[in-house]
Amino acid sequence: MDRVTGEFVAGRAYAKQTWATGLDAKGRPIRLQGAEPTEKGTLLYPNANGATVWFSPSYSPQTGLVYVAVREIGATYFKRDMEYKIGTFYAGGGENELPADDSFGAIRALDAATGALRWEFKLHSPPWAGVLSTAGGLVFSGSDEGNFYALNDQTGKALWDFQTGGRIGSNPIAFSVDGHQLIAISADRVLYVFGL
């Protein structure tokens, strides 16, 4: 989107998706026929918590890349009769997430101007952690398996990792104390702080 006018500029898929054929001139998805939930179930990618959700991506003005944590996971969606009750959760149907063996995660570096994939760092499982890029050429994130790691911002090559012992479902942050840059991450209710 153009940040001044809000006009659609460009868009492309950065994760597997099976419910749209592309984007129209205004950037709205063009829905694929037959991609609606059914009584027997319809397999769709990504699931409701797939591609990326609440966690932060990161942009580097030095590389022109956007770094995003990607959840490659699908689900079978069902259409069911459900009674709507005011003030309660209403999904209007059901979802059966695919088994863990059928999903994975990645950190992907995308060209900010075109959305083209520049590199990918694969993860064993779909992540819940955000991404942080630094002026020092590093990209930080964490995994469900408890690994906090740093990647090269140009290539995605793993440079460093630390096993926290707990699942990481937070966003890394950078801050400075007395002129020293620090990186912090929370894992399983423990805060870890590392000096650069």
User: What's the token pair of residue 5?
Assistant: 């006018």
Average pLDDT, the chain: 92
- d(CA 86, CA 170) in angstroms, rounded, equals 32
Domain ranges within the chain, ordered by starting residue: 20-167
pTM: 0.89
Give residue 185's Cα distance to chain centre: 17
Instruction: Please state, in angstroms and rounded to a whole number, the distance separating the CA atoms of residues 10 and 142.
Output: 29
CATH 2.40.10.480 is the classification of domain 20-167 = yes
User: Would you list the DSSP string of 128-181?
Assistant: ----EE-TTSEEEEE-TTSEEEEEETTT--EEEEEE-SS---S--EEEEETTEE
Backbone angles phi, psi at 28, to 5 degrees: -90, 145
Over the stretch 89-136, which tens digit does the pLDDT of each residue have? 877 778 888 877 789 999 999 999 889 999 999 999 999 999 999 999
